[in-house]
């Protein structure tokens, strides 16, 4: 377990381009921010503003093929030198994920393996990165499934993804991400697909786990209610750029940018 105090992530001038045609415009442009150890940074903005692209770039998932990423994203793992998360090769990125850095994707079905039981896949990071036995990993997986609110977890551990609801699948994704007790969790709209009461429960659990583990979180959402609930700091994106950032109370109570004001005014 790592209790980070200083900055856990320093992103400077992150830009993301799709298509390598000369003169193609970046979808995300010169985004800079820092994430502080043990805190939650919310990334907000309307649909299409570049939130998910930013999250994916932070795991070196866009720095290949037809997409290009520039800038730097130094991650401080607690010991050893910083690692630039934007430009890792596949092997290094895999090693870091599931161990120090975890991500919860917006669409849970794409990241669950349909042919593995829930218990087996939730325990995967422990088997691969922590040398846990199958039995140990399963026991901890069941514990984590219980914590994220899966009823009858010991039995559910033997179910397959298609046998549970979308809301349950999203909880399973959260359990998979949290089980390795990552230093940094990037969560892309992890509760958007869930109904409001379940959303509140999950946010509560995430907050508790975060405090216990001293984990840092980058929480992508379009929901300002969630921001007030969970974040320490906020970054507001519009059309691929950061228009405003700061401590959550300052941004929500005294927004400086017209877009942030409009966003706040649209909340019922
Ligand atoms: P958000 O998560 O804020 O809703 P995204 O980060 O998904 O927005 O998308 C930001 C912009 O990047 C959008 O205009 C989207 O169409 C574009 N985009 C996302 N992925 C790709 C891709 N693979 N190829 C081309 N454009 C993309
Ligand atoms: Mg998105």
Residue of the CA atom closest to atom 26 of ligand 1: 18
* Ligand 1 atom with the shortest distance to the CA of 46: 3
Q: Cα of 232 to ligand 1 centre, how many Å?
A: 26
Taking the whole predicted model, whether its pTM rises above 0.95 is answered as: no
Q: In the chain, where does DSSP find H-type helix?
A: 51-57, 90-96, 108-111, 118-122, 124-130, 134-147, 153-156, 166-178, 196-213, 224-230, 248-253, 258-265
Pocket flag, ligand 1, residue 53 (CB < 6 Å)? yes
Contact 42, 226 (CB under 8 A): yes
Task: With cut-offs at 50, 70 and 90, classify the pLDDT of residue 2.
Answer: very low
Output the six-digit token pair for 100.
Answer: 């120090």
| pLDDT at residue 1 greater than cutoff 50 | no
Q: Cα of 82 to ligand 2 centre, how many Å?
A: 27
* Ligand 1 atom with the shortest distance to the CA of 240: 10
Q: Cα of 7 to ligand 1 centre, how many Å?
A: 28
Q: Cα of 132 to ligand 1 centre, how many Å?
A: 38
CB burial string 230-249: b at 16+ within 10 A, e below: bbbbbbbbbebbbbbbbebe
**Predicted confidence (pLDDT) per residue in 98-143, tens digit:** 779 999 887 765 678 999 999 999 999 899 888 999 999 999 999 9
Pocket flag, ligand 1, residue 106 (CB < 6 Å)? no
Pocket probe for ligand 1: among 43, 52, 259, the residue whose CB has the most ligand atoms within 8 Å is: 52
- Complex prediction ipTM: 0.98
139, 145, 149, 153 alpha-carbon torsion, rounded to 10°: -60
Pocket flag, ligand 1, residue 236 (CB < 6 Å)? no
Q: Cα of 250 to ligand 2 centre, how many Å?
A: 25
**Predicted confidence (pLDDT) per residue in 155-169, tens digit:** 999 999 999 988 888
Residue of the CA atom closest to atom 20 of ligand 1: 53
Pocket flag, ligand 1, residue 16 (CB < 6 Å)? no
């Amino acid at each position: 377990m790592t209790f980070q105090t200083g900055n856990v992530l320093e992103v400077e001038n992150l830009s993301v381009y799709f298509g390598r045609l000369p003169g193609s415009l970046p979808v995300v442009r010169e985004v800079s921010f820092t994430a502080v150890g043990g805190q939650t940074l919310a990334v907000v903005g309307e649909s299409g503003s570049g939130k998910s692209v930013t999250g994916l770039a932070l795991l070196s998932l866009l720095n290949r093929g037809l997409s290009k990423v520039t800038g730097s994203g130094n991650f401080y793992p607690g010991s050893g030198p910083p690692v630039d998360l934007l430009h890792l090769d596949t092997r290094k990125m895999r090693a870091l994920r599931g161990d120090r850095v975890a991500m919860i994707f917006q669409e849970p079905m794409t990241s669950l393996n349909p042919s593995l039981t829930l218990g087996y896949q939730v325990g995967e990071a422990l088997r691969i990165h922590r040398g846990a036995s199958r039995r140990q990993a399963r026991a901890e997986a069941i514990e984590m499934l219980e914590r994220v609110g899966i009823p009858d977890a010991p039995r559910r551990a033997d179910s397959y993804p298609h046998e549970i609801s979308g809301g349950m699948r999203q909880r399973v994704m959260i359990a998979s991400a949290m089980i390795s007790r990552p230093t940094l969790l990037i969560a892309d709209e992890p509760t958007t697909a869930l109904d409001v009461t379940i959303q509140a429960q999950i946010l509560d659990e995430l907050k508790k786990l975060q405090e216990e583990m001293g984990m840092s979180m980058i929480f992508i959402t379009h929901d300002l209610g969630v921001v007030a609930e969970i974040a320490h700091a906020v970054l507001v994106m519009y059309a691929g750029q950061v228009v405003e950032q700061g401590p959550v109370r300052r941004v929500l109570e005294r927004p400086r940018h017209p877009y942030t004001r409009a966003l706040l005014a649209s909340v019922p």
